[in-house]
Structure 1
């Protein structure tokens, strides 16, 4: 019998350079080995170093016009060719051609090197011979050192005879195991000889040249570990993984070259040499719309997406400035949702990206086909069930006939209706929104259909992925428990509740069928994210001087959804330290219970100057406890109790006699109060700024529940925002507030109200209101009011990019401070402005908002209505304050 000789060899691979946008999903480019001899090798002969020869990829049809189209859609018009832009798919990649003399022991055999196929098992024309059974009486395995012999025999057929096709499968399975570099099989005289050469084992994995990502982070994410079996697939995957890690950080010009060092005992070291290159930023983001009169301006669309253009004023950098293919895909989705919310149901959004020749910049263009805008023609509520009372469900409909159709609202309205039916005790009902679109009339008719839902009860609830958060914390947020009726409305509501905790990156709730068709188990899988924050800020203001702040927050303390915070603020004129803890879900309800320990010390003044004769110091240390809970979606209630020891010192001997007599023997007192607060808020926030809506707050503080100060203080504040253009770059803000103190016993002069600086631009701190005619000291007062109007606008019309965080503001204030506690002494003989006298001021300013620094800018204001004894200040410097 002629011997059966089937030989398979496997080559090595190991290097990849990525210079294109496709590195987000690393391209299937060829990668090859760079093999370097160990510096001190005393064993087997060292392999020579293999140099990789570059070659071009398949030529593009036209340089500069090849693109990465994100999302499918209609054919896109090509961008204008540019000298500085090349196709993102252009570039040189490393080929799979290596010097033949360097890899003799690793090179695959050429066809003419294989044994000639002769004998009965290799017929040239007979296909039937492939099915001839050959007897195997004995199996010899040669060449194994680490691999167990049985691991090879397990791949053989169980019977004692086999065909050539079965032997082919056997050899392929051995290769697919990744354990062997070479396999040869011989069948002679019923003896099967399997000769193998094992793949090397990995002795060490090292990363060199990395700076932007630490070695520990690279090793933590690595799939290659010491004592693993070396294979070309594992090294190739590791190269792609490293490239992906750098791509996620914006380094698309990264080059990763693996070096293979061969050691004794069939072991290798793998060294990944990394050339990081420069970070790739978004040079330009454009929006091209096919409509002659587009529904949204380019500036408005920029506020929708998360990607940002590279700008020098973002001193600390922003990840959104770096190109990220996944982020661009997400932006396409955000743009679609934005158009859906505004009635454009036929919108199509695609993205086109190009990489500049310098490999450092990307050009992104969003192509938008808007289509018509749809309005609501009719809204109905129906049911296919008899005797189902639908009264009251219409109160949940926020859509109106004739208004622009918001594609997100029908599901929300239907969910609220289903919740209403469940609250009435009607289980196994659901509300489905039925949408009929009339393309000719550009109208949409809505019908909310109440119908039967499948009768399903919740079985067991399995929670997975919560390594930090306790099970009970997650379960108490669910709208159902084991044995309760189960509906998709409850599942969706539970998901919304879990998302509101802001503990998880992703939440997946899946009902799973069980043996009983009426019972479904529920699998809840979460992926946790970081819940701690560290905040730094610094600044300077006319009122506080130089300011430095640091804050530590943890939203999931001990895995029990507890909120903990520690903050410290040190300023030129004072300091404040606080540590607190709160439970936002006390007793399994939406009830926040918390407490704070605090100490503060500030410098104040009665003459406008913090270092002059009117300056004094006051400090307080104590604790407070509070409870907060919602009364509705827009209204919440707050109760609190505070007790603290107060100290006042450093009074000037030339201070007003009124103040001296008031503070005599009261420099150290105990102050305790109960506070009640109602808060209404219905506002919209974009990029951390209020852009529309209203808010009202009314607080009442009763001093005297313990302590020496006895008074009742009431304050009410209201704010309203009006955007004047669709981009919301032109914003009008109205604000009004007022307060009154009812004296019920002893009060210090400093327990009263004061105005000036940021609370009333144009006047110094305590620069208006009652004043001692003899000494010029401010006496503060028990009543005040202020009203202001502010107009903010971006500076895009001056040629400044519209996303520049620089805004101009024009403002006007009016208000008064009157009725001091000293008014009845001497019948106001020496008190200037004891009664109501109005003041007013107006001004302009520039405000620049920067990360971690807050607002930086200046305000120039001038009083237009004042009294002769008022103290004015025209210029205010802003750093860190809101205005």
Structure 2
């Protein structure tokens, strides 16, 4: 038998001479040496079939093709008469992969990355692939600043042509930044520039800070922040010449050196807008908010271009291009700025497509859309539509895209994709409040009844102070004009003595109907009318004033009530807003046919200011005034305003401020004033949208104008810190406050908290 040994390895197959042989026609092909791989796999990759004439070149190509599959570590071709014999030695398979010593990168993540690269249990072992994974693993650890990492790989043969792979990792210590040194800075000190960097030496007062942990990605971001710092402060020629990173010999410390050229400080010269502006150029120039003589600022220039783009988007020019071009005059150190505007074609909406709403009717979504089909595309209407959909509370996420219609330069589709959340709830639980005591609650609520967008709720709540039984229904779109209709039936029982107030109890049943009438996208007028059946129960320790009221008006009342209120809401979101404001002005009054005639007026205004990422300031003021009219000479004492506690002036016991009766218990008053200033800020290591921290200053007081003058010098103030968590049981709120001007006799309660939903 004549043998033709074509190659032992791919290298030999490609470049080494093959033993001289006579070409022959293949009548049969046999494959020998297979254990795991099916013969059909070899035939699929073998470029030789029966009746082919095999020569030296074709044999070399066949060896190369089989070797390239990665299945074999050795391939030989033999001739047995006119039969071609393919002898192969399979690569071993991976029987087991064991990783030890790793903590910075989880084992599951490592194995998944190896599997994605083709190295996993059951796969064919490839040494080159394993070496590549080792290199990538080192790169990952280097990116974390672990430059002394050691990785040792052991491959152990097993029976049946298998191997076990063991990877031992010594992650070492993360290299710490010893210093960041700036070279070439004259306009700003090292200390100022150090504040721009997220990398640097760890402050002594932040022992858990990760600021001194180096990574290439963080350095790249810091260099961009440094460039922005200069470019936004007039240095239009600023450049970073180099950034050098050096390590100590033991690889535990890192020194970063930034070499820069500040250039000169530039101010703006002429600022103009030219091109196809659609609207008057003067209007667009006002949007730029830049004037001759201002310091050059790349951030303000970009902001001006964005505002021009948004303004054109409101007119339907969604693809407008605004290109600010600076012309630097180095002799006079000025920059002339020209905004070139190309409005393009006005885009019209061909179709609004809605997806993801498997429970909510299309109509519920479409009626919130302020972008209409057939109209021009308005960025303002798109943003407003997104905000209105988010405010419904039905959806976890709302995405609106405006792709261009294929083949059309002036048409787009509006694709609305929503991710529905749980709009219904069944709740049963307990809560506690420092002013309410233990709370037991049960409620069934559906915020999207049968996909119509309506709301229905049944609630039964019981606390130490009060009990509430309520059934309500809200028809959000009573008519095509967007009028909302409300129905409510409730029974409330209140024991004021348990709230540390006077000795009386109230049992009130209410039936109400109301309408919310939208005036525009932000303003609404609400009109409510209702019937109230109220029973008053005085205790043995009731005050003389309360007994006089009962003697004059009795202890059972049927009242017909109405309330008219105006609400303006521009919050950016419903829960934990960071910008916008909410104002409300309402007057509640009993009608003349009622047993008691009185009214109460309330005004509140809360505004959020976004200061920086995750930082916001809230300013709030509330006023309330009530009085009797007609046959009722005063506001009923059980309708008095109260203040103090976690929802008004923290640090003082709930409802404790104001005048007191003969029993030294708070009686409330017919005038209330409350003000709050609160700064919300992020806390390290807690990155959750359901958690909020703040520091605050509160002030407030209630007055009885029949017995005292309104003197704001009597206001009580406090300051402290607060924490709120939207837990599965409801809002958990805690505050630690220090009264600032408490007087003898004031009831203090520095630590206050509440858990659960209170009504």
> Is the Cα contact below 8 Å between 2:458 and 2:470 reproduced in 1?
yes
Query: Match of 1:741?
Result: 626
Asked if structure 1 preserves the Cα contact closer than 8 Å seen for 2:179 and 2:200, the reply is no
Secondary structure of the residue aligned to 1:396 is helix
Q: CA 1:791–1:649 in 2, change beyond 3 Å: closer, same or farther? A: same
> Could you tell me which residue of structure 1 aligns to residue 668 of structure 2?
780
Give the Cα–Cα distance (whole angstroms) in 2 for the partners of residues 307 and 577 of structure 1: 59
| Alpha carbons 2:400, 2:414 under 8 Å: kept | no
1:817 aligns with 2:696: no
Paired residue secondary structure (1:872): coil
| Aligned twin of 1:699 | 585
What are the superposed Cα offsets for residues 143-163 of structure 1, whole Å, 9 maximum, x if unpaired? 335544443334344793566
How many Å separate the matches in 2 of 1:170 and 1:581?
A: 78
Alpha carbons of 1:637 and 1:492: their partners in 2 closer, same or farther (altered >3 Å)? closer
Aligned to 1:76: none
- How far did 1:435 drift? 3.5
Alpha-carbon distance between aligned partners in 1 of 2:527 and 2:152, rounded to the nearest angstrom = 59
C-alpha change, 1:414 and 1:861, in structure 2 (3 Å) is closer
CA offset at residue 642 of structure 1? Answer: 10
Deviation at 1:142, TM superposition (A): 1.9
Alignment CA distance shift 1:562-1:849 (3 Å): same
CA distance in 1, matches of 2:532, 2:322: 58
TM score, norm. by length of structure 2: 0.62
The equivalent residue for 1:59 is: none
SS in 2 for 1:7: coil
TM-score by length of 1: 0.55
Q: Name 2:86's counterpart in structure 1.
A: 194
Distance between the aligned counterparts of 1:778 and 1:713, measured in 2?
Answer: 21
Q: 1:813 to 1:389 in 2, by over 3 A?
A: closer
Q: 1:447 aligns with which of 320, 338, 344?
A: 338
Question: How far, CA to CA, are the matches of 1:367 and 1:275 in structure 2?
Answer: 33
Q: 3-state DSSP class of the match of 2:19?
A: coil
State the match for 2:9 in structure 1: 8
Q: What is residue 325 of structure 2 aligned with on the other side?
A: 434
The within-5 A match list for 1:635-784 is 652-659=539-546, 661=549, 665=555, 675-679=565-569, 697-700=583-586, 702=588, 711-717=599-605, 736-741=621-626, 749-757=637-645, 759-760=648-649, 764-772=653-661, 774-784=662-672
Aligned equivalents of 2:452, 2:586: Cα separation in 1 = 32
Q: Is the 8 A contact 1:848 1:857 kept in 2?
A: yes
1:513-532 matches, cutoff 5 A: 516=407, 518=409
| SS of residue paired to 2:750 | strand
Q: By how many angstroms is 1:430 displaced?
A: 4.7
Distance 1:139 1:670 in 2: 102
The C-alpha deviation readout for 1:179-215, integer Å capped at 9, x for no partner, is 3343333467665432223345567778889999999
Q: How far apart are the structure 2 equivalents of 1:702 and 1:505?
A: 37
- State how 1:83-482 maps to structure 2 within 5 Å: 119-120=19-20, 138-157=28-47, 160-161=52-53, 167-186=59-78, 191-200=83-92, 223=116, 228-232=122-126, 262=158, 288-290=181-183, 291-294=185-188, 301=195, 326=217, 329=220, 333=224, 345=236, 346=238, 348=240, 367=258, 369=260, 371=262, 374-383=266-275, 389-390=280-281, 392-411=283-302, 413-418=304-309, 420-421=311-312, 430-438=321-329, 441=332, 443-451=334-342, 453=344
Q: Is the 8 A contact 2:651 2:736 kept in 1?
A: no
The answer on whether the counterparts of 2:641 and 2:670 sit within 8 Å (CA) in structure 1 is: yes
Equivalences for residues 600-615 of structure 1 within 5 A: 610=499
Instruction: Kindly indicate whether the alpha-carbon contact (under 8 Å) linking 1:806 and 1:846 is maintained by their aligned counterparts in 2.
Output: no
Aligned-pair CA distance for 1:715: 0.9
Q: Aligned pair in 2 of structure 1 residues 245, 849: CA closer, same or farther (>3 Å)? A: farther
Q: 8 Å contact 2:659–2:703 — kept in the other structure?
A: yes
**Counterpart-to-counterpart distance in 2, 1:249 and 1:555:** 46
Q: Measured at CA, do residues 491 and 818 of structure 1 come closer, stay the same or move farther in structure 2, by a change above 3 Å? A: closer
**Is the CA contact 1:676–1:700 (under 8 Å) kept in the aligned structure 2?**
yes
Tell me if structure 2 keeps the 8 A contact 1:816–1:839: no
Q: Alpha carbons of 1:213 and 1:184: their partners in 2 closer, same or farther (altered >3 Å)?
A: same
The 3 A distance-change label for structure 1 pair 765 and 442 is farther
Contact kept in structure 2, 1:548 and 1:571, CA below 8 Å:
yes
Q: 1:872 and 2:757 equivalent?
A: no
User: Are the structure 2 counterparts of residues 408 and 236 from structure 1 closer, same or farther at C-alpha, using a change threshold of 3 Å?
Assistant: same
The offset of 1:700, in angstroms, is 1.9
How many Å apart are 1:793 and its aligned residue? 13
Q: Cα–Cα, structure 1 residues 610 and 559, in superposed 2: closer, same or farther, change >3 Å?
A: closer
Q: Distance in 2 between matches of 1:382 and 1:624?
A: 57
Shift of 1:565: 13
In 1, Cα distance between equivalents of 2:138 and 2:485: 46
Structure 1 residues 409 and 857: CA distance shift in structure 2, 3 A: same
> What is the rounded CA distance, in whole Å, between the counterparts of 1:156 and 1:613 in structure 2?
98
Residue 747 (structure 2) pairs with residue 862 (structure 1):
no
Q: Give, in whole Å, the separation in 2 of the partners of 1:510 and 1:760.
A: 51
Cα distance change, pair 563–340 in 1 and its aligned pair in 2 (3 A)? farther
Name structure 1 gaps, 5 residues minimum: 10-109, 122-131, 795-804, 824-831, 865-869
Q: Distance in 1 between matches of 2:200 and 2:463?
A: 36
CA contact (8 A) 1:459 1:519 kept: no
- Give the 5 Å matches for 1:27-38: none
Structure with larger RCO (C-alpha < 8 A, sep 6+): 1
Structure 2 gaps of 5+ residues are: 683-691, 727-731
Query: 1:335-390: CA deviations, max 9, x gaps?
Result: 6556655555536599888999999x9979695858366544332222358x9754
Write out per-residue CA displacement over residues 813-834 of structure 1, whole angstroms, 9 at most, x where no aligned residue. 5765233xxx4xxxxxxxx43x
SS of 1:6's partner is: coil
Q: Distance in 2 between matches of 1:348 and 1:388?
A: 40
Cα pair 1:179 1:199 within 8 Å, conserved? yes
Change (3 A) 1:682 1:454: closer
Range moving further from structure 2, 346-355 or 243-252? 243-252
- Are the aligned partners of 2:370 and 2:385 in contact in 1 as well (CA < 8 Å)? no
Q: State the number of aligned residues.
A: 710
Partners in 2 of 1:351 and 1:458 — Cα distance? 49
Comparing 138-147 and 324-333, the one that deviates more: 324-333
Native 8 Å contact 1:258 1:272 kept in 2: yes
